[in-house]
Amino acid sequence: MMQRVSALDLRDVMPRGSNIGNVAEAMAPAVARDPAERLRVCMLVTYDLAAPGGGVKQHAVDLAAALRARGDDVTIVGPSSRPIDDPHMHSFGGVVNVVANGSDNMLGIFVSPLAVRTYFRANRFDVVHVHEPLQPSLSYWSTWFSRDVAHVATFHAYMEHESRMLRWARQGWSRTLFPWFQRGIAVSTAAQDYASVVWKRPLEIIPNGVSSARFALGAGASAAPGRAAGGPVKLLFVGRIGDARKGAKFLFDAYRELRTRRSDVTLDVVGEQGAAAAPPPLPGLTYHGAVDNERLAELYRGCDAFVAPSTGGESFGIVLIEAMAAGKPVVCSDIDGYRAVAQGPGVVLAKPGDASSLAGALDHVVSLDATTRRHLGELNRKRARQYDWSAIVDRVRGEYLGAIADRAASRAR
């Protein structure tokens, strides 16, 4: 049950007679940091930390690991539907499912404000990095109770069509929250366009990253690199099949059509089922459900081609760069959110929401000889290097330092 903050509680942190504008002036000044100095970072994730999968959460986990590797102290904070046994994480309860943008979204709606206040009073950070800041309500309370430090927002979301009510809600929420943020990041031009409705300052485009070593076929890999001699061509899909925008329905129809043309192909399906029906019992189709990261990397390495049939609502396509890092050709929908990544000869595009178009694109890739598929996959692997965290982490960290400096400069004026 949600706990309320009393007027006395708010007076503990808000000067008498203050509003959002003059509270900012009343807070203690931040101090600009030496770029080489270790940063204490709060990485705030608005989605359920205990739920399997999730691109935003994986982005935050991998970014935190990359920052720690270069010496920073990073704590991931977020809602959780069950206890989290991780020394680098702190979780709050109050998780509920909110269906939006064609997906289930497990959010910390009913998080206790008092618990959030207690945590931020006990733990000091140099910067709070909020992923998807407009997701209620943990993002609000965490920002409010950490107003004395710098804040950075990362926008991951994209929608082709937004209702007027949702736009009004985003605009209203942003007015209470964004005065406390110094810097903003968008993971793609699509995410930038969507965020620009509510974020009126510059947005730095820094793409999602990938841990290339996790997906590369190396000495420790435990999966064969794709098709065995004379065996079927192995396709792989990764995504919540219960989320309509992931396009699983069209994939199953396309695969059914493809199997009427040829039998030398199989399909592995990975991801939560959610409220959807189980995948149809088609020949060669194996449903794995949700898997851990190690098993997921094995399945990427072991496939011959990756397929992403999303119909929209994507801002980037983390699964695309994971497949590319594994050295696989990709078949995906021609949608706004995929276009920044889905480039080059190693990618075949299909019309979104069109099973016949998808079946034709898959048939083309399956018909290629193994040498050609490996060559296309290698081109994708080379392209994926630009998204490795080693090439991205310092850009994000630069935004942290900029936010700290911006806040210090605003206090000096």
- Cα–Cα distances in angstroms (integers) from residue 411 to residues 26, 32, 142, 149, 408, in the given order: 9, 11, 21, 12, 5
Residues 127, 250 within the same domain: no
State residue 4's pLDDT score. 35
Residues 167 and 253 in one domain: no
In a domain, 9, yes or no: no
More confident residue, 195 or 136: 195
Q: Which domain holds residue 162?
A: 16-209+389-408
d(CA 272, CA 237): 12
| Same domain assignment for residues 157 and 40 | yes
Give domain status of residue 5, yes or no.
Answer: no
Looking at per-residue pLDDT, the higher value among 90 and 105 belongs to: 90
**Predicted local confidence at residue 137, as pLDDT:** 86
Does residue 28 carry a pLDDT above 60? no
CA distance 147 to 145: 6
Same domain, 284 and 189: no
The answer to whether residue 413 is domain-embedded is no
Q: Is residue 7 a part of any domain in this protein? A: no
180 and 218 co-located in one domain: no
Query: Strands, E, within 225-325: which ranges?
Result: 233-238, 265-270, 285-289, 305-308
Residues 78 and 51 in one domain: yes
Query: Read out DSSP for 317-349?
Result: -HHHHHHHHTT--EEEE--GGGTTTS-STTEEE
- Number of domains into which the chain is organized: 2
Q: pLDDT of 183-236, one tens digit each?
A: 999 999 999 999 999 999 999 999 999 999 999 876 344 444 555 556 899 999
Instruction: With respect to residue 259, please indicate whether it lies within any of the assigned structural domains.
Output: yes
43 or 95, which is more confident? 43
221 located within any domain: yes
Q: Is residue 216 part of a domain?
A: yes
What CATH code is carried by the domain that includes residue 87?
3.40.50.2000
How much is the average pLDDT of 122-128? 97
Condensed to tens digits (0 to 9), the pLDDT of residues 33-79 reads 677 789 999 999 998 988 877 889 999 999 999 999 999 999 999 99
Q: Are residues 96 and 192 in the same domain?
A: yes
Residue 167 domain flag: yes
Lowest-confidence range among 38-42, 62-66, 100-104, 348-352?
A: 100-104
Are residues 250 and 101 both part of a single domain? Answer: no
Confidence of residue 168 (pLDDT cuts 50, 70, 90): confident
3-state class of 50 per DSSP? coil
Q: What whole-number distance in Å separates Cα of residue 18 and Cα of residue 2?
A: 26
pLDDT surpasses 60 at 290: yes
> Per-residue DSSP letters for 72-101?
-EEEEEEE-SS----TTEEEE---EEEEET
Give yes or no: residues 37 and 177 share one domain. yes
Distance (Å) of CA 371 to CA 62, 260, 361, 374, 378: 32, 25, 18, 5, 11
Tell whether 298 and 248 lie within a shared domain: yes
Whether 396 and 323 map to the same domain: the answer is no
Residues 171 and 249 in one domain: no
**Lowest-confidence region among 81-95, 116-130, 278-292, 351-365:** 81-95
pLDDT at 205: 97
